[in-house]
Homo-oligomer: A and B are copies of this chain.
């Protein structure tokens, strides 16, 4: 069996905060991978959050359901992301998590996690950095949904996704594999799947991106950036040197 190259470690290594102690703990936390079938719910809203999950492979979906059946997707966690960190810190989960594809995750108990953080302040800082990055993404989504037009919003979303995947080593300069349906996209950017369909067609007609058969392909990333008025930088921000 090939030893797992931790995507989380890779992500957190962006800055040299991880010493041997931190690496050892992370390795221990990630040592027992679980397989989760696509479609499984990992955490339900309002459930007591006794566990977090480190994603090692596959795509997940963090979302909130409303009483009338509407859904808002908050994030699509991928390899290297931590699911349910907030559920552990606050006592109950404020939203649900499902496996979007087949998933490999490491299950971490809340106590174990908090324990590790208390013991290793540098790990704490690294995790706080990761959480801040996540929050920056949520803020960006809020701006999108609140103040950007539909087409711009979709363009922005696809760019962000591409950027994230590329940083995680899961996408190239001009394309990436994407298991999302148009319903997923719609629930992420606050639109109807039907409308998303028309917008994707528009982007295709403008020869900017295509999304077909599970592959997003950028044909004119620069033009797409112009359309989305893209200001990257919130994804690969470094930690303040200390």
Contact = CB atoms under 8 A, between A and B. Distances in A.
A86 B132 contact: yes
Interface stretch (A21-29, A32-40, A204-212, A232-240): A232-240
Number of contact residues on A: which range applies?
35 or more
A167 interface: no
A6 B129 CA distance: 26
A94 interface: yes
Interface string A124-158: 11011101111110111111011110000000000
Contacts of A214: none
B238 A91 contact: yes
A77 interface: no
A125 B129 contact: no
Interface stretch (A114-122, A171-179, A193-201, A217-225): A114-122
Contacts of A118: 121-122, 125, 242
Nearest to A129: B89
A121 B132 contact: no
A162 interface: no
A91 B239 contact: yes
A159 to B, nearest CB: 16
A137 to B, nearest CB: 10
Given A70-B147, A147-B190, A94 B142 contact: no
Contact of A142 (B67, B92, B138): B138
